[in-house]
């Protein structure tokens, strides 16, 4: 049975509409920008029809991801009340009624799935897989050591795959490998931040945190960091990539992921940040500039042959 907040806790002074907007987490929609990877690397960015379909896919995944965030907040409300930051979330604090949140979850999930299958059968299947995976994560997989972070990474991979399926371009295995490794890097960094922030109270918030330690996570992060950079480097200089894009210049973009990952590690280890990768991307100007410059450089290199050929 779903229960309301424990007696004695006063809900935050928010209107229901404002509380709902916060719970939808629009700042987290930056994760869904991965759906545009198919347009960019599929060399369809200059085609209006492909761009429109990618925008539709982005909107659908924003709806689905918000449904997941709401569902997760309902499921985690007791644990969130033990967290110094998450205790202020609208559902945990009581500002957003659980019944209202549950109704919105159903509306977003059903509406998003209907729109995805209306786009195409293949896109609908990927969207449904994303929703099922996130549901399993919220109810079960987040309690299984190592599988929890792999599941988070799989959610990013499905976003990238959905973007390729939406515009009907082949899904590059390189795209999936780099996306998986980068997502693992972010997920492991988030786990480390939670353990350091909560210290002895970590397991009260999330039981699975008792299976990790900062040292173990640092070892995993080191492996994933090196693998991510190597995979990206091999991708940019591989004969397949050079032949596909008719340029060998993509290797010049390697300094951007190098700086971006090192900057992120600096923020995690020296500034005790990393709890929310999406927020960190939007608030840390050097990191945001790095991502923006990388995107501009990759776009210029890939599309230069089309524009000037």
DSSP state of 120: -
Reduce the DSSP state of residue 62 to 3 states and report it: helix
Which position has the token pair 């979330």?
A: 89
Total-model pTM: 0.88
Distance CA 143, CA 191 (A): 13
Domain segments of the chain as ranges? 16-170, 172-304
DSSP state of 248: S
CATH code for the part of the protein at 16-170: 1.10.357.140
pLDDT tens for the 309 residues of the chain, in order: 344 444 334 444 789 999 999 999 998 999 999 999 999 999 999 999 999 999 999 999 999 999 999 999 998 888 778 777 788 889 988 899 999 999 999 999 999 999 999 999 999 999 999 999 999 998 999 999 999 999 999 999 999 999 999 999 988 888 889 999 999 999 999 889 888 877 766 666 667 888 999 999 999 999 999 999 999 999 999 999 999 998 999 999 999 999 999 999 999 988 888 777 888 888 899 999 999 999 999 999 999 877 665
Cα-based torsion angle of the residue sequence 268, 275, 112, 164 in order, rounded to the nearest 10 degrees: 10
User: In this structure, how many other beta carbons lie within 10 angstroms of the beta carbon of residue 214?
Assistant: 14
């Amino acid at each position: 049975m779903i229960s309301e907040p424990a007696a004695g806790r006063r809900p935050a002074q928010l209107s229901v509409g404002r509380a709902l907007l916060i719970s939808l987490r629009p700042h987290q929609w930056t994760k869904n920008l991965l759906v545009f990877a198919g347009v960019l690397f599929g060399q369809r960015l200059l085609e209006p029809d492909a761009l429109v379909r990618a925008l539709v896919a982005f909107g659908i995944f924003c709806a689905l991801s918000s449904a997941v965030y709401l569902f997760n907040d309902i499921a985690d409300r007791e644990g969130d009340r033990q967290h110094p930051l998450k205790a202020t979330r609208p559902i945990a604090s009581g500002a957003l009624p659980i019944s209202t949140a549950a109704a919105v979850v159903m509306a977003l999930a059903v509406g998003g799935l209907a729109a995805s299958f209306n786009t195409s059968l293949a896109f609908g299947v990927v969207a449904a897989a994303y929703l099922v995976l996130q549901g399993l994560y919220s109810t079960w997989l987040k309690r299984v050591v190592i599988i929890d972070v792999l599941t988070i990474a799989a959610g990013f991979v499905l976003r990238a795959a959905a973007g390729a399926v939406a515009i009907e371009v082949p899904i590059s295995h390189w795209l999936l490998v780099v996306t998986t490794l980068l997502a693992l890097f972010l997920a492991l960094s988030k786990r480390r931040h939670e353990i350091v922030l909560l210290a002895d109270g970590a397991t009260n918030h999330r039981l699975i945190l008792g299976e990790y330690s900062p040292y173990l996570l640092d070892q995993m992060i080191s492996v994933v960091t090196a693998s991510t950079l190597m995979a990206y480097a091999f991708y940019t200089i591989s004969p397949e990539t050079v032949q596909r894009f008719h340029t060998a210049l993509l290797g010049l973009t390697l300094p951007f992921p190098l700086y971006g990952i090192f900057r992120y590690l600096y923020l995690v280890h020296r500034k005790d940040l990393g709890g929310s990768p999406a927020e960190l991307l939007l608030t840390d100007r050097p990191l945001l500039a790095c991502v923006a410059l990388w995107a501009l450089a990759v776009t210029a290199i890939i599309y230069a042959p089309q524009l000037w050929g």
